[in-house]
Structure 1
Amino acid sequence: MLSLGYGAARRMRNLSIGVLALAGSAHAETVTIAALGDSLTAGYGLAQDEGFVPQLQAWLDDQGADVKVLNAGVSGDTTAGGLSRVAWTLTDDVDAMIVTLGGNDYLRGLDPAVSRANLDGILAAGRDAGVAMLLVGLKAGGNYGPAYKEAFDANYADLATDYDIPLYDGFFDGIRAAAGSQDQFGAYMQPDGIHPNKEGVAAIVAALGPSVLALLDGVD
């Protein structure tokens, strides 16, 4: 659901784009989505056509969507890194943004409150730019204790509510569903146990793809 603030910003951003109607039909422009993330988005350890963005692009093409997905993933990036580059990621031709950040914050044990503030800044930039947004959550493990996990996991749901944007709860949910059990989870991961392999990305995209299609419906 889009807030009034989002709709107003989007309408102002699109004042210069008109809709060309000829013989009762309209010309729809290709929707451009920026995928802002870290190595999970960038496609770390994979061939060029095996990463998250190219597999998502292929999946959307197969669904007949007129969309271009831009790879704005930087390996090793934290939420702070995403915040530092979101302004130049959101160029005038970007219509929507997928945000998948926080994994490196968790791996480094950064304060969830700091991660939340950075994600808040990223989403505020997207709102101000008038782009449709999809926030993709990540689930922390229990190695920093239950209080850390609770605070980290809650960041995504709380911010999605604050900005009235859709949340895809867990980036790795598609792998969990495909694996069926924790014993089989490793078959979809690279040897480092952190990054998905080609088959893992395919499972992630198959599960996440419908949420991206729904995001396109929110683009004016």
Structure 2
Amino acid sequence: MTKIPSSNPLPLMFCYFLMLICIACGENASKKTEETTTDDTNQKIETTSSSSKILFFGDSLTAGYGLEVSQAFPALVQQKLDSLGLQYSVVNAGLSGETTASGKNRLNWVLEEGIDIVVLELGANDGLRGIPLTETRSNLQSMIQMIRNRLPEAKIILAGMKIPPNMGPEYTSEFESIFPELATQENVALIPFLLEDVAGIPGLNQEDGIHPTLQGQKIVANNVWDVLAPLL
């Protein structure tokens, strides 16, 4: 009987070797695709982060006291910007309890390159504490000058404020006049009264009667937008 020769194992090993090479090549191609995708993603992130910034510098009204940061008026302004496709990033630098004096000491820490507009919202806590009006005016003016020195191309918006008549009619009236007078003197944009159509309305303020609810914040955002939009 004629013997059938046994199959040679070498061709099988050779095929197996070729298969391993193909798998390795496929993995390398996959890695290259992943690397390309990652590079593209990073490029987009850098492009987004390079947009101009709008700095909101203020007290608890800016910080959104009693609410989520995403519900404060700076975040609501960001939503408006995004909906219009405007390449601006909002920075909320609000700090509850801030006075003009403490704000002046903190301001330099938050001023950075890329800020195109600064919305300065301070003074309410000065008025509620009865701080001398000359000091409030001087601090606000100093902060405007600090912004101009650090960011000479940045536009500045001053948020006007009013206070309850607890400190007497003379103090209250003079406090209110600080903001339009300073805006004219320093040639900066003015929000006549940040809390217009919100202050004193129970349904639009939290239980303390001072800080806006979410619905109140939406109105405040519109008050800001009326002045901000023409500067964009």
TM-score (norm 2): 0.74
Q: What is the root-mean-square deviation of aligned Cα atoms in Å?
A: 1.4
CA distance in 2: counterparts of 1:135 and 1:67, whole angstroms: 19
**Equivalent pair of 1:134/1:215 in contact (CA under 8 Å):** no
Contact 1:41 1:52 in 2 (8 A): yes
Any idea what the Cα deviations from partners look like across 1:15-46, whole Å, max 9, x if unmatched? Answer: xxxxxxxxxxxxxx622011000000011110
Match of 1:23 in 2: none
Provide the rounded CA distance (Å) in 1 between the counterparts of 2:127 and 2:217: 21
Residues 1:121 and 2:145 are matched in the alignment: no
Say whether residues 1:155 and 2:178 are aligned partners: yes
- Mapped partners of 2:114, 2:75: distance in 1: 19
**Partner of residue 123, structure 2:** 102
Corresponding residue number in structure 2 for 1:201: 217
The answer as to 2:149 corresponding to 1:133 is: no
Q: 2:70 aligns with which of 41, 49, 53?
A: 49
Cα distance in 2, alignment partners of residues 212 and 165 from structure 1: 12
Taking the aligned partners of 2:117 and 2:133, their CA distance within structure 1 comes to 26
Whether the 8 Å CA contact 1:30–1:68 is kept in 2: the answer is yes
Aligned partner of 1:78: which letter?
A: T
The yes-or-no answer on 1:36 pairing with 2:52 is no
Alignment-mate amino acid for residue 61 of structure 1: D
Counterpart position of 2:113: 92
Flag structure 2 segments of 5+ consecutive residues without an equivalent. 1-49
Q: Is the 8 A contact 1:59 1:206 kept in 2?
A: no
Candidates 73, 79, 103, aligned match of 1:82? 103
Q: What is the SS of the residue equivalent to 1:143? A: helix
Please report how far the alpha carbon of residue 63 of structure 1 lies from its aligned counterpart in structure 2 after TM superposition.
3.0
**Do the aligned residues in 2 keep the contact of 1:79 with 1:105 (CA within 8 Å)?**
yes
Q: Tell me the CA shift for residue 64 of structure 1.
A: 2.9
Q: Map 1:3-22 onto structure 2 (within 5 A).
A: none
Q: Which amino acid aligns with 2:203?
A: A
User: Contact 2:57–2:93 at 8 Å: present in 1 too?
Assistant: yes
Larger Rg: 2
By how many angstroms is 1:61 displaced? 1.8
Structure 1 letter corresponding to 2:113? D
Amino acid corresponding to residue 60 of structure 1 in structure 2: L
Q: CA deviation at 1:174?
A: 4.1
The correspondence for 1:172, drawn from 189, 195, 199, is 195
How far apart in 2 are the matches of 1:63 and 1:205? 15
Query: Which is helix-richer, 1 or 2?
Result: 2
Q: Which of 86, 89, 103 is the aligned partner of 1:65?
A: 86
Identity of aligned residues (%): 34
Partner residue, 2:39: none
Q: Which has the higher contact order (CA 8 A, sep 6+)?
A: 1
CA contact (8 A) 2:99 2:122 kept: yes
1:199 is aligned with what amino acid? Q
